[in-house]
Structure 1
């Protein structure tokens, strides 16, 4: 996902300026160290993303007060440190609504729609 292009597309919608005062983006990247294996060196991660579940979660969170759009794309396959794994955009009225929604949506996507298997050095 190209954040600049996606946000530019969102801004073309006449409802954008009526509903959006903040856009937050998340770019999840494969780390070179493992969270679950006490900082061991990661050489690769096999990621499986259920994009249908991601889309359903975005639709759910888009119904929250003050939220205009939620867009997310999770990559799948064998990835190496530095690769992009997950992109999220949340657009809404006020920072309190947008920040909370991005945080909750990210946690739900990671726990319900993404599985990872690390390869360690």
Structure 2
């Protein structure tokens, strides 16, 4: 999923610009949106869904013939983006969350990190240029989004099994406690190497498709680092390829890991810990 954020002060035309972007993106694939509602309350006191949560439900889902609404606790922007990715969206358009590190189109003189385009007015937007920018953004994936993607493979009807690997940040290794890991990639090359590995593994007998994704930046203990998904005709063909995929990713893909622990921080040669 490729993501763009639109930020600006109140009544700057953020929603109108989001509408234009979504309509244009629909020519290229599926699109979902996230809207920062600040302190607005949707699950209003006195409603049945509100009563469910007051009773202690951790998640409440309201369903109508046209809508599905999910209410839960302790939500943030990443939660919302994961929901879009898990739903199989090709694009995510975020309105607001100006303090996030997401790439942004800024309306007016609003201050925010990672602004890649600034407009005086939303009416002046060159939508074709914006879409070009969106298409150049890096992919955002969850395990769910990769599974959705592999189920769209043209030969998925020949598959009898889908296997996955998820690498996570180990909190404790021996006597060392890891606070977080920091990953850096050789720009552009890491994705090319992973695509090549997937393409070569797909040539093996019985393998329908292979997808992989490695996150970069700061990843905290217990969080996901890497996903690999393999679809195969039979499980006997699947498991060796799943193992080979992670070993080749470790050996061939230029991604570097810096470990941050209570004892200090250092760069580690092996990109991905064995799990």
Query: TM-score per shorter chain, which class?
Result: 0.7 to 0.9
Q: List aligned pairs for 1:1-121, cutoff 5 A.
A: 1-13=141-153, 15-17=155-157, 19-34=158-173, 38-49=174-185, 50-113=190-253, 114-121=255-262
RMSD: 1.8
Greater RCO between the two (CA within 8 Å, min separation 6)? 1
The alignment partner of 2:172 has SS state of: coil
The alignment partner of 1:41 has SS state of: strand
Q: Matches of 1:101 and 1:115 in 2, distance apart?
A: 24
Q: Shift in Å at residue 109 of structure 1?
A: 0.5
- TM-score normalised by length of structure 1: 0.84
Q: Matches of 2:246 and 2:258 in 1, distance apart?
A: 19
Greater fraction of residues in helix:
1
Contact 1:48 1:75 in 2 (8 A): no
Q: Matches of 1:89 and 1:45 in 2, distance apart?
A: 23
Q: Matches of 1:2 and 1:20 in 2, distance apart?
A: 21
Change (3 A) 1:46 1:6: closer
Change (3 A) 1:74 1:31: same
- Structure 2: runs of 5+ lacking an equivalent: 1-140, 263-275
Greater Cα radius of gyration, structure 1 or 2? 2
Deviates more, 1:47-56 or 1:76-85: 47-56
Change (3 A) 1:13 1:54: closer
The alignment partner of 2:241 has SS state of: helix
Large movers: runs of 4+ above 4 Å: none
Q: How many pairs align?
A: 117
- Structure 1: runs of 5+ lacking an equivalent: none
